[in-house]
Chains A and B, each alone.
Chain A
Amino acid sequence: MSLLKLCVPGDRLCGAEDCIPGTGTYLRHGYIFASLAGYVLRKNEGEELPIISVVKETEAQLLPDVGAIVTCKVTSINPRFAKVHVLYVGSTPLKDNFRGTIRKEDVRATEKDKVEMYKSFRPGDIVLAKVISLGDVQSNYLLTTAENELGVVVAHNEAGIQMIPISWCEMQCPHTHVKEFRKVAPVQSEYLQA
């Protein structure tokens, strides 16, 4: 990492033969230009050419991208899919809600045809999911929970008490010991406080 240098949009950083353009830059006419106002960062990540990027001081608005792990809240359920609001991308909260969809086929990796949505999610649950597509006009982001570490992380029963996961498909109320079905993500208990 070299010395921090200020740059503004339109600044020419280097030639296209010297660096690989990273985030906050764009390539035009054989030169790399800055597209953000911030600091120039030059990194050598094992390749023969360093990656040059521009880092902003205060992070800009983040958009969920394909492959990102997102935290979302279930808003509605029907037999074919669950509608969710994306609240976090990784550990960064989003200013605006982004709508997403978890289809029945994307709930789990095994026995896809036997999935029942009301036994996997309930409205109000907090779900960890991964973005698999930017979706189409109707549904925006397509999400999947078909991995071991994805699924419901926080759920409340009808009395409003937060339930404890006891297996990959069940959660239990600590007071009444009533069990409910959920597609559970194995989250360590200390992370639930955050």
Chain B
Amino acid sequence: MAGLELLSDQGYRLDGRKPSELRKVQARMGIFTRADGSAYIEQGNTKALAVVYGPHEVRGSRSKTLHDRAVINCQYSMATFSTAERKRRPHGDRKSSEMSLHLKQTFEAAILTQLYPRSQIDIYVKILQSDGGNYSACVNAATLAVIDAGIPIRDYVCACSAGFVEDTPLVDLCHAEETGSGTAVALALLPRGGQIALLQMDARLHQDHLDPVMEAAMTACRSLGQVLDGVVRQHLQEVSILTGE
């Protein structure tokens, strides 16, 4: 983009952050009582809502039941008003289907599905406002919702996006950086074990630059893990007070 400077000479980004700085993350758990688990998260201006139902009996096609573990069903959608230009198809388009598949693969790696044979876990995620990092916000919101539902999970699944501008890795890209810089890496990490649940990269990047970008994204994921940890512990304290522990 001509005239738009993603990284200034002093090392500041468009919104005043340093390259390794995350946007402000705010999250809440248990916002819907009718769902088994629910969570809401804001990462900067990106707002995501996640609900989890289950484990329950497999509905619809019975033939997709797995005899040894649960089936995970993910649905990703964006509200029509979530982007600057109103979307005509909030779900069902190619990008939403691809994102739903990514979410499904991410949580199949994290949830202990073998504890619930012949059952189904539904995860629905909706983007209310989009400002870059949609996948990260969805994964973080769904992680909180799964923990709220009491489904056993190996570790927090923390996701973050990263980019590369002027030989500097950036983390937690906003919309302008996603469209302007070209390079975008999306990483989902289980921070304590260090396993990568999902890795996605668009556009061109030299192989020598991949390691610093990955390292920056993993560091950001660990920071996000601490934020999610604080949210979960605070929620546990509140629930304890309510139940008179």
Contacts and interface: CB of A to CB of B under 8 A. Distances in A.
B230 to A, nearest CB: 10
B150 A36 contact: yes
A26 B112 contact: yes
Interface string A1-21: 000101011111000000000
Nearest to A9: B153
Interface string A22-65: 00101010000101111000000000000000001111110100
B239 interface: yes
B228 to A, nearest CB: 9
Given A9-B147, A63-B116, A97 B156 contact: no
A178 interface: no
B240 A10 contact: no
B57 interface: yes
A185 to B, nearest CB: 25
Nearest to B54: A61
A99 to B, nearest CB: 7
B62 A37 contact: no
B154 A35 contact: yes
Interface residues on A, range: 20 to 34
Given A57-B243, A58-B239, A140-B118, A36 B152 contact: yes
Given A6-B233, A10-B190, A95-B36, A57 B245 contact: yes
Given A137-B63, A137-B65, A99 B57 contact: yes
B132 interface: no
Given A8-B233, A57-B236, A33 B154 contact: yes
Interface residues of B, number: 37
Contacts of A6: 233, 236-237
A94 to B, nearest CB: 9
Closest 10 CB pairs of A and B: A60-B150, A10-B155, A35-B152, A96-B56, A10-B192, A9-B153, A57-B239, A37-B147, A56-B150, A8-B232
17 contacts: A8-B156, A8-B236, A9-B152, A10-B190, A10-B193, A24-B152, A26-B152, A33-B155, A38-B236, A57-B243, A60-B149, A61-B55, A61-B56, A63-B116, A96-B56, A99-B57, A134-B67
Interface of A: 4, 6, 8-12, 24, 26, 28, 33, 35-38, 56-61, 63, 95-99, 134-135, 137-138, 140
Given A12-B192, A28-B154, 16 more contacts: A8-B147, A9-B154, A33-B155, A35-B154, A36-B152, A38-B236, A58-B243, A60-B151, A61-B54, A61-B56, A63-B55, A63-B116, A63-B119, A96-B57, A134-B117, A138-B62
Interface of B: 36, 54-57, 62-63, 65, 67, 112, 116-119, 147, 149-156, 190-193, 229, 232-233, 235-237, 239-240, 243, 245
